[in-house]
Structure formats: C-alpha cells, structure tokens
C-alpha cells in the first residue's frame, strides 16, 4: 500500500497568513495527488486534483504543487472560511489512501 | 447538477449487518465508478472499496474483504454498500464518492452515520 504522510497534523494561523501543508507518498505517484477540505459534520470537498489543478469553483488562493513523492497545498491568504481539516489522497494505486489530515485552526 | 444522496442514520447491534444506499443523479450513472470511504468519530478518511456501475465489478480494501459487499441497481441509479458482522469499531460516517477521470473524488454523498452499540 502507498502510505501518505501529511505535516503538520495541526497548525494555528491568522486571517491573511500564508499557509502551507505538505504531503509525502511512500512511493512515487506521479501527479496523482488530490487535496480535500473538510468542515465539521460535512463531506470532504475537492480543492485540487492532479497535484496542481484547481477544481471548478474553488478560490484561486488555493494552489497545489509537486510530483513524484512530495506535494504541497498552499493557501496564499487565509480566510475565515478556510479554517477546516485538509486531506491529501493518492489516486495512483489501490487501495486508495489518504493522509491523516491537517487541522487549520484560528490563532 | 450531479448529486449523490445517501440513506439515513442507522443504529445496529454488534453482529448485525447494515446496507447503505447512494442514489446518483445529474449524470450518466454507468460512466463513473463509485467508491466508499468511511470516517470514524474524530478520525481520518478510510477507503473501503469501489464498484463499477457499468459491469458491477468491485475491488475491496483487504481490511474489509469477506465482510463487505458493494452492489448497484442501474434501473434506479443506486449503489449499495453492505457491511456484515458489525462491531463497535465500525461506528463511523460512511460516504459514497464519484471518481473522475483524474482519479480524484469529485462528488461526495452527504454521509450516513452508522452506530454500532449493544
């Protein structure tokens, strides 16, 4: 199985801050890496697919980069509605696997 | 618009089984695989398996092999996930999700809470 490791597991940030979350795969997954946002009591929402493509309707302050084993999700200027948990997921192999999540909290 | 609508809350006793439904609309049902993902309280996302609504082929996570069955009904555009021999550790929200050609999950159901308790 491909293991996905996110860091940090949580972070505190202020509105307007630049936030970066990293995700590392145990094997190369090319660009088959996707990012989701989840708020309490809600289903996950797709933000970024194929490592760097912005899903329709997602604000441009979200961006993704990376390939192979190392990937990054960046929020350029954190907004109040961005406080949530973020997950990476690999679509390269079966079973599909997720990172453990990064909770972004208000400082 | 694309929608995946799941069945409601379930409360089950240990040893019982549960069948969760996921009704698709707004797209060609047989053109997109459907995956099932679960989330225990306060925990992360766990992939359970996938069904091809066209040919009904399935692949299950090894952890659930022999304990889960995924089926579909093309006449109602509905997929089902049945989990057997429930234990307390199966208490979770169960999600269905559609997979896009890029292998991401682009649409999700609203989730179904399954509680297993004696």
Give pLDDT tens digits for A12-63.
Answer: 999 999 999 999 999 999 999 999 999 999 999 999 999 999 999 999 999 9
A86: contact with B, CB 8 A cutoff: no
The bridge status of strand A10-13 relative to strand A102-106 is: parallel
The predicted pLDDT at position B100 comes to 87
Contact with chain B for residue A103, Cβ under 8 A = no
Measured CA to CA, the distance from residue A73 to residue A95 in angstroms comes to 23
Instruction: Say if the Cβ atoms of A55 and B59 lie within 8 Å.
Output: no
H helix intervals, chain B: none
**Residue B102, pLDDT above cutoff 90:** no
Say whether B108 and A43 touch across the interface (CB within 8 A). yes
Burial of B1 (0-12, 13-18, 19+ CB in 10 A): exposed
Q: Please report which confidence band the pLDDT of residue B101 belongs to, taking 50, 70 and 90 as the band edges.
A: confident
B36, B92, B103, B111, best to mutate vs chain A, most A CBs in 10 Å:
B103
Q: Who among A32, A49, A87 is closest to B45 (CB)?
A: A87
Check residue A107 and give its pLDDT.
87
Residue B105's pLDDT is 97
pLDDT in tens, B64-82: 999 999 999 999 999 999 9
Q: Does B72 touch chain A (CB under 8 A)?
A: no
Mean per-residue pLDDT, B58-63: 97
- Say whether pLDDT at A87 is over 90: yes
């Amino acid at each position: 199985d491909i293991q996905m490791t996110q860091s940090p597991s949580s972070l505190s940030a202020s509105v307007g801050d630049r936030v970066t979350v990293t995700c590392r795969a145990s094997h190369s997954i090319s660009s088959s890496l996707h990012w989701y946002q989840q708020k309490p009591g809600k289903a996950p929402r797709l933000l970024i697919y194929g490592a760097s493509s912005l899903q329709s309707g997602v604000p441009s302050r979200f961006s993704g980069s990376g390939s192979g084993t190392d990937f990054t999700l960046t929020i350029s200027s954190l907004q109040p509605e961005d406080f949530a948990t973020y997950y990476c997921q690999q679509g390269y192999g079966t079973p599909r696997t997720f990172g453990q999540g990064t909770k972004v909290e208000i400082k | 618009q694309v929608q995946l609508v799941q069945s409601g809350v379930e409360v089950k006793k240990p040893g019982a089984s549960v069948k969760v439904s996921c009704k698709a609309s707004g797209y060609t049902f047989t053109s997109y695989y459907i995956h099932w993902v679960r989330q225990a309280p306060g925990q992360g996302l766990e992939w359970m398996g996938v069904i091809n609504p066209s040919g009904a082929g399935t692949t299950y996570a090894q952890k659930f092999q022999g304990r889960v069955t995924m089926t579909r009904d093309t006449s109602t555009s509905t997929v089902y996930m049945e989990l057997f021999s429930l234990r307390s550790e199966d208490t979770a929200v169960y999600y269905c999700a559609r997979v896009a050609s890029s292998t991401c999950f682009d649409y999700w159901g609203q989730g179904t809470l399954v509680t297993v308790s004696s």
